[in-house]
Structure 1
Amino acid sequence: MWFDLGVAVSLVLVLEGLLPTLSPGYFRQLMVSVAQMDDRAIRVSGLISMILGAMLLYWLRH
């Protein structure tokens, strides 16, 4: 179980590092626009992301 968690965290870090590595200018613009979003919009996008991630994980595991 701990090994799988470590792999998952590693993959998240790799994927999150792709955009700033490939296009730092676009990443900066994206962060500015996210900083200007209201809390509700950020919460909803986070919730949608978690639901999609859970569905993908379920689909891949079963």
Structure 2
Amino acid sequence: MSDFLTGIAFFLIIEGLVYALAPSALKRMAALLPQMPEGQLRTSGLAAVAFGVLMVWFIRGG
């Protein structure tokens, strides 16, 4: 459970850094999201999930 909470903490740290260091870039990106096809968003999300799972697997000594 502590690994899960650590993961959430790292997520919050990274999200906070994006909002703190590049708010205008984040706003521009958010404005572009409605124009992207749902399939492309879904594919990008699934690729990010797969990459994250692979990273955890390699880090944990998979």
TM-score (norm 1): 0.90
How many pairs are equivalent?
61
Q: Alignment identity in percent?
A: 25
Partner of 2:33, secondary structure, is: helix
Structure 1: gaps of 5 or more residues:
none
Q: Deviations over 1:16-46 (max 9, x none)?
A: 2211110111110011112221111110000
Larger displacement relative to structure 2 (48-57 or 27-36): 27-36
List, as ranges, runs of 4+ consecutive aligned residues in structure 1 with deviation greater than 3 Å: none
One-letter identity of the residue aligned with 2:40: A
TM-score (norm 2): 0.90
> What is residue 18 of structure 1 aligned with on the other side?
17
> What is residue 51 of structure 2 aligned with on the other side?
52
> CA offset at residue 52 of structure 1?
0.4
> What is residue 26 of structure 2 aligned with on the other side?
27
State the superposition RMSD in angstroms.
Answer: 0.9
One-letter identity of the residue aligned with 1:18: L
Aligned equivalents of 1:39, 1:49: Cα separation in 2: 15
Aligned equivalents of 1:35, 1:13: Cα separation in 2: 24
